[in-house]
Every structure is written in C-alpha cells, then in structure tokens.
Structure 1
Amino acid sequence: MNQEIRTKLDRICDILWAGGLAVPTLFVEQISYLIYLKLLDEREAELEVKARLLKGKGNGKLLFPDQTSRYRWSNWRFKSGKELRDFVGGEVFPYMASLLKEEPQVAIYFQDAKLEIDDPHVLKEVIDGLDTFQFSKLGPDVKGDIFEYLLQYLSRQPQSDMGQFRTPRQIRMAMVEMVDPDLGDTICDLACGTAGFLVDSVEHILAKYSAEPREVPIYGEEWLADKGLTLAQAKKQIPNLQIYRKGAGEKIPDWELLERSIFGFEVSRQMMRISMMNLVLHGIRNAHVKRANSLSELGGMSDEDLRRRYKRILMNPPFAGMLPAESIRKDLPTASKKSELLFLGLAMESLAPGGMCAIIVPEGLLFGSTSGHIELRKKLVEDYELLAVISLPAGVFKPYAGVKTGILVFRKP
C-alpha cells in the first residue's frame, strides 16, 4: 500500500472521526458499508463489459437490472445534502437487504443495516473520497492492506466495549504456521471477531500456491517504507524480526474450493459484517461467515453447523463470562458454564479426525483445580494428541485484557 493510498485513507478517517463517529466498531462498520457498495458497483461495470463483448451471452447476472440501476453507487454518488443521506440509508440499504434470492451474502451483510453518518456533508466527503479508489484495479494484497489499515482503529476500542479485541498479528501468524492449513482443509474460527485468523490462513495457503512468494515483515510493508529500509536491512538491524510469506496464489486450481473451506461464527452483527468485509477485500467473497453463538443450540447455528467438523480450528475466544445452563449445547464435553472451558470443549468437539487446533486460553485454565478444569484437561490429554502448550508473555493483550494467556495446540486422532 503506497503513501498516496494511506493519505487518502487518513483523510477519510479524519472526516469520520471529526463527524462524530468515535466508536471504533461503528466507525469501521459504516465505512465497510460504503466500500461494499463501491465494490458492487465496480463488479456490475465488469459484468456489463463482458455482456457487451459476448453480445449478451455471458453467465453473470446483473445486480442492478432495469429500474434498480438507481441504487448503484455510480448513479447516486453525485447526490448531496439530505437527499444523499436519505437515499443511501432509506433506499439503497433496504434494496441490498432484499436480495436474499439473487445475492444472499449481500442481503445478509445489509440485513438490519443502518446508516449512522447523520451529517450529510460528512457523508458526501467520505463518498467522494472512496470514489477516488478503483478497487477492481487493486490486487487482493492492496485491498487487504487497506482494510487492515482501517482495522487499526479498533485499537481505540474501550476494553469494556462488546468484549472485542484483536489478536496481535505476530501471534496469529505463529498459530497459523503451527497448524499449517492447506487447500481443501475446512478452516474455522468459532468466535471469529474481525476474521484475522481466517484471513491469515488464506494468505498462508496463497503463499503455498504461488510461484514466487515474497517475504514480508510482520509489521507490514508500510513499516519498511516508513523506516526507509529494505527487508534485508531490517533483518540485519533486527536479527529476530518475524516475517511471513505472501503470494498471489496463481497456482490454486480451484478458487471456489478455497472459498467453500472458510467458516466463521460471530455473535456480534457488527463484528460479523467487519469480518465479512475483511475476507471480501482479501479476495474471499463467498466464505461461510455467520452471525451465531457457537456455544448455544439456540444461538443461530443450523443443524448442519452443529454437525460439521473441521480440519483446522484457530481461535482466541472471549474468556470472561458464564452462560445459563439452559443455553449451552448438550454435545460439549464439559458441564461447566465458564466460557473459556466451553470454548475449549467446543474446539475439541468440532475437530474432524486428523484435524488440528490452535487456541488461546487463559493460563488459569491450565492450572484450575475445579472438577470442570480437571475433567476437561484429562480428556484433552487422554483423547487428543496434545502437541504444544505455549506460555505467552504477560501483557500481550493490554490494554484490552491483562490476563496471562497461553496457546494450546492439539490434534484429534
């Protein structure tokens, strides 16, 4: 991501912050809505070009046929004032939410969506700023970097706000490397947040299936640019610099197989939307991301969801809290009501034979003396292959959480 793009993004973000959107999750959610509308307009333009070239014989179905073309970004972006605000919030959003048959993923994304940018002048400036981007001409790398840059604003999230916080990329990438997902593996995060683990798993697979993957420092390529260093120079200055590989994935034989293999569940609708957009901008448009409480039989999980088993599970679930016994799934290998034990039990139960899991747990789970702690640890050791117990440094998740944590890595025989 070059400096010009970063400057544009900073300006858009400054406008939103100054316009009153000071809650980070709301801020990212609102800009996600607008980015999605711009992406859909660009996709529509591509389908129109193909249809003209093929003289109407293409198989792509237009999202805005006939009279509904007025809902396209390119046809309303010139509006201004209250007319623009009322049209986007009152007509465009409801139309997108109505496309359950034509585009279910789009409809789910805009279900109950509400435009929270009340000042029409702020909305106009943000739309004008986003209109300068031609997302279809940017590679998945750049689009992904754009959204990762926006997600940095979640670091301003108060600790108590929704209990959500992001896992540092260094930890995510290390966990992905340990379970080593491959094309065709079903990959799931049962409390996916912003979908960081899912995106990193996709990038891990893309690098595997690239002719010339490149090395990137864990802090991102813009970090190198800011320091004015090459990667070789940075490695010399920081001998233990963590790096990972990125690639285009041009050798992947079946992109739909990759998309069909990605699963995420998130109880918060806001975070579910953010995770969907994160995946979309990383090239995964049709992942199975769903708003649901994965611990509950009544939390939005279908029978198929409850029965499905995964080859790779990566998680940093919420630690605090207890669930009412009546809400908890009956198929979990623990009678505890503590969320950290329930999520570990859920990960164990959700693995397919031969599958691997890497999960972050509070250190108290490893040493707790209650019957729930002891029984679940016993089952993990006796019925699974425990591959690693990794203690993380204190303060890894500050300022969001101060609890000492560790990583469990295990395989189901």
Structure 2
Amino acid sequence: MSLASQNVVNKAWNFAHVLRDDGLSYMAYTEQITFLLFLKMAHEQTKRPYNRKPMVPAKYNWEQLLKKEGDELEEQYRHTLEHLGSEKGMLGDIFKKARADIHNPATLKRLIVDLIEPVAWSSMEADVKGDVYEGMLARSAEESPKGAGQYFTPRQLIKAIVDCMELVPEDTVCDPASGTGGFLLAAHDYVAKKYGKDLDKDQKKHLRKAFVSGWELVPNTARLCIMNLYLHGVDADPPPIRSGVDALASAPSDRYSVVITNPPFGKKSSISIVNEAGDLEKEDNVYERQDFWTATKNKQLNFVQHVKSSLKIHGRCAIVVPDNVLFEGGAGETIRRNLLRQCDVHTLLRLPTGIFYAQGVKANVLFFDAKPAQEKAWTRKLWVYDLRTNMHFTLKTNPLKRSDLDEFVKCYRPGKRHLRKPTWDAEKNPEGRWRSYDYDELIKRDKVNLDIFWLRDKTIEDSDDLPEPDILAQEIADDLQMALEQFQAIADRVRE
C-alpha cells in the first residue's frame, strides 16, 4: 500500500474510533464510508476528463451535502439515501435499504469535508478506494476476527490468478460468490488495460454491459460490489450482481467462458429459517441438483460442482478451495474423480497460511478447463506449485506481495501451458516448488487425494530455521483452529 493510501486509511480509522463512541460498529462505519465515497466519485466522474452523464439526481448529489450544515446536513444525508434507494436500475440496487447511521451532524460534516472531499479519488493511480476498504477490513478483523474481513481475498493473489487466466475482450466472467467484487474488478481492469485503445465499439459495450456477472448472498456486501463495478466503468442495467441470492440454490441458467471465485470459508451449507416460536435457526441444506455428481452438505464441494456446471465448453476456472476439498472422502472422492475425468484439471497452487483474515485457513487455487464429453479422461497431467512449505506470511509483518507469486505465474506459462517445465528435480533441485503428476498417478492415490506435497519441511527438521516467535505462534493457533473446526464437524455428524 502506498504512503498516500496508508495516510487515508489511518485518517479513516481515526474517524472510525469517533463513530465507535457513538455506537456504530466498524463494519457499519465502513458501509457509511462507501455511501459517501460513491457520491463523491459519481460527482467526480461528471467532470473532465470523464464527462460521464450524471447518475445521481442533482437534488441528492455530492454538492448538496457539501452545502449543508448541522441538522440540515443530517436530514439531507438521510433523504439522499432514502430517495436513491427508491430509484430504478443500478442506482436503486446500490442504495437499496440504505440507512443513515451517522446521526451526529458535526461528525458527518467532518467526514465529508476532512476525509472524502480533499481527495480526487477517481484520478489516483492506485485503487485507493480498494486500499481504504481493505485497510478498514484488516483493522476491523483485528478488533473482531469474525468480521466480514475473513472473506476478503488478498488483492495480490487475485492479480496473480487473473494474470494466469488469458482473458480476452469477448470473455464472459462470472464469480458466484463475488464478495466486494475483487475478482470481477481485476478481470475487467486487466482487459481494459491490456487491450485499451484497440477495443472496438461493440467490445467496449460488452466490457461495460456483459463482461462480468456475479452472485452475492449478503446484501450489504453485494452493495459494495455493485458500487465498485460502477465506479470502474461497469454500468449494466439490471446490475451484474444478483444480491441476496444463493448461487447454489439452482442450476445456472447461463454459461460463462471464465469463472474465478473464492467461495466463503466454512464447510456446511445451511439456510436460515424462522421456527414456530419465531426464533431464527439454521437448517442444514443439501442441494438436490440434477447437474451435480453427488449430494453433500459440504459447501465448498458444492461450489466446485456449481462452477463446473457454470462453464461453457472449453471455459476456464480458477477456484480457491480449502484443503478438505482435496482429500475428503465420500462425496469429495466422487467429485474429484469426475472432475479429473470430465475436465482438464491442469494446475494446483498450494497457498501459504497467514494470508487470509480468517484464522486456521489452509487453502489452494484449483485451475481447470471444461471439456466436451468423451470416454477417456481429459486430465493428462496436474501441475502443482507449493507456495506453502517453508513459507511464512502474516497480515501485519510480512504480508503477501505480488512478487511472491512471480515464479508461479512464470511457471504457469499463460497461453503456453504446453511448454511447462518442472523446477523440481530429485537430484538437481530437490527444493523446486513446481512439478507434475500424471493422471494415472493421481487416480491411484487413496481416495484420489490431491493434497500433494513433497518438499522437506525445514521447520520440523532444523530448529535453526524456525520462523520468528510471533509467526510460529500464529501458525500453531491456525492449526488449533483448524483442528477445532474438524472436531466440530465430527460432532455435528454424530448428532445427525
């Protein structure tokens, strides 16, 4: 994060403390920031060099908030959110059920004048708005580990994944668990920057109207995603994000050329219901879908089946999955066998711990291509890159950088996968992180286990190579957290 971005994040966090004293949660504060930030950037984009047609009615635009003071300002802000929420199309979706939770006019004025107004958000080179949001989520996660930050995918990882996907202007990109839109924004920006002035009129329209699609179950998160997309030039109507809709509930009506996603962590699928006493309770949800290979309560396994169904023939997928998707028996084995046979499962990236806000997460990125039906298995060779063994990252002291993924992207060989070569060699380079496994090797593994590793763990064998105490303590805590979740899953199954 740049110094300018860090300064804005720090200032935003100082305001958060003020509003915390007024009883506003950190996540609620983040949402209020996005309302104001959207109004400011929508105003900026009506000016040069953007010259976009005003989206916000003049009576409720950013300039009206700047003019007001005291109770009139608080009233204007409240009416603005209420009115914009009643608008049709993308604007109405962005402000749907929006509430003005900042009730102190003096604090609201300072937020507008001191934090938002001085910054020319649209013209800054870095995605400072993204930096602010990520910074706020990081701070919020520190204060409350169960906050929404646990589902925020590191943007450096997103960039590396998108760099591997060989995106072109004609693609249709889907994220069935879009969150705040990190993958969709990165995909859109990749094509916009790579092809830029070479795009013809129809391609530009496609990029604005139909290039990205997504689902987000949590309405407030979907709101942030739609805002982000609009402010990056996506102005589809109806909005490209389906808010409050469970993507797993039904088979996809459309197929896409690219699916990139990081479904929310947590194994069980459940739905919220109101029981006879009027209380909210969770009910286990098994999705009975004809397009699924098998029925399971494991949400991650269901997402793997769903994204396979969402792909066009020859469509490409990159999905972040926890380790259990790679080794779990029963439904997991059934899904892996079918995936290896019916798709070209060509790449697995083993991710390091300590890069997500949620604790105890051990995850991977699985890359595969959809293929037409045939008797012979489509997967010929699975290439595995191990970025986990002997790698130590933390959110604070050693965060994941894009450069940490440079070797993986180079080994991946986007557009030239047939030229891949291993960096691992049993004699010449036993520490190599990149090697392949043939289909016949994979299918013979117990339960078709794809949780593959081969590097010597130096932290176990050599005490001189132990990581710093804070990193080691966090890794122990992560392992304990994962063990507790697995014990809980066993306890749940025993009760069933």
- Which is greater in Rg? 2
Deviation of 1:333 (Å): 3.2
Give SS of 2:353's match.
coil
Aligned equivalents of 2:285, 2:7: Cα separation in 1:
50
AA aligned to 1:257 is: H
Partner of 1:362: 322
Partner of 1:318: 264
Which piece of structure 1 moves more, 323-332 or 79-88?
Answer: 323-332
Partner of 1:16: 16
Which piece of structure 1 moves more, 8-17 or 361-370?
Answer: 8-17
Partner of 1:351: 311
Please say if 1:283 is aligned against 2:285: no
- State how 1:186-335 maps to structure 2 within 5 Å: 186-209=172-195, 249-253=196-200, 254-259=203-208, 260-286=210-236, 288-291=240-243, 292-297=245-250, 306-320=252-266, 321-323=268-270, 324-325=284-285, 329-335=289-295
Partner of 2:380: none
Contact 1:16–1:122 (CA under 8 A) maintained in structure 2: no
Deviation per residue, 1:125-162 (Å, 9 max, x gap): 111132223445x16x44x2333333221113233235
AA aligned to 1:201 is: A
Please say if 1:400 is aligned against 2:358: yes
Q: 1:9 to 1:61 in 2, by over 3 A?
A: closer
Q: 1:164 to 1:268 in 2, by over 3 A?
A: farther
Q: 1:334 to 1:24 in 2, by over 3 A?
A: farther
Please say if 1:98 is aligned against 2:86: yes
Q: 1:79 to 1:207 in 2, by over 3 A?
A: closer
Aligned equivalents of 1:341, 1:376: Cα separation in 2:
8
Partner of 1:223: none
Contact 2:82–2:99 (CA under 8 A) maintained in structure 1: no
Which structure 2 segments of 5+ residues have no match? 271-283, 372-496
Deviation per residue, 1:206-226 (Å, 9 max, x gap): 3322xxxxxxxxxxxxxxxxx
Deviation per residue, 1:302-328 (Å, 9 max, x gap): xxx931111111111123122344666
Aligned equivalents of 1:3, 1:170: Cα separation in 2:
17
Aligned equivalents of 1:329, 1:86: Cα separation in 2:
49
User: What count of residue pairs does the alignment treat as equivalent?
Assistant: 345
Deviation of 1:401 (Å): 3.0
Match of 1:80 among 69, 87, 93: 69
Aligned equivalents of 2:56, 2:352: Cα separation in 1:
49
- For CA contacts below 8 A with separation 6 or more, give which structure has more relative contact order: 1
Which structure 1 segments of 5+ residues have no match? 51-58, 210-248, 298-304
Contact 2:188–2:211 (CA under 8 A) maintained in structure 1: no
Aligned equivalents of 1:162, 1:28: Cα separation in 2:
11
Match of 1:384 among 325, 334, 343: 343
Give SS of 2:248's match.
coil
Deviation of 1:252 (Å): 2.7
Deviation per residue, 1:82-139 (Å, 9 max, x gap): 22112211x1112111221xxx101001110011122221111111132223445x16
Partner of 1:215: none
- State how 1:32-43 maps to structure 2 within 5 Å: 32-43=34-45
Contact 1:82–1:120 (CA under 8 A) maintained in structure 2: yes
Deviation of 1:63 (Å): 4.7
Aligned equivalents of 2:55, 2:173: Cα separation in 1:
31
Match of 2:104 among 119, 125, 132: 119
Aligned equivalents of 1:378, 1:386: Cα separation in 2:
11
Give SS of 1:332's match.
coil
Deviation of 1:387 (Å): 0.8
Deviation of 1:6 (Å): 5.4
Q: CA-atom RMSD, angstroms?
A: 2.8
Percent identity over the alignment is: 26
Deviation of 1:61 (Å): 7.4
Contact 2:269–2:299 (CA under 8 A) maintained in structure 1: yes
Contact 2:137–2:148 (CA under 8 A) maintained in structure 1: no
Contact 1:97–1:107 (CA under 8 A) maintained in structure 2: yes
Which piece of structure 1 moves more, 340-349 or 36-45?
Answer: 36-45
Deviation per residue, 1:235-262 (Å, 9 max, x gap): xxxxxxxxxxxxxx33332322112211
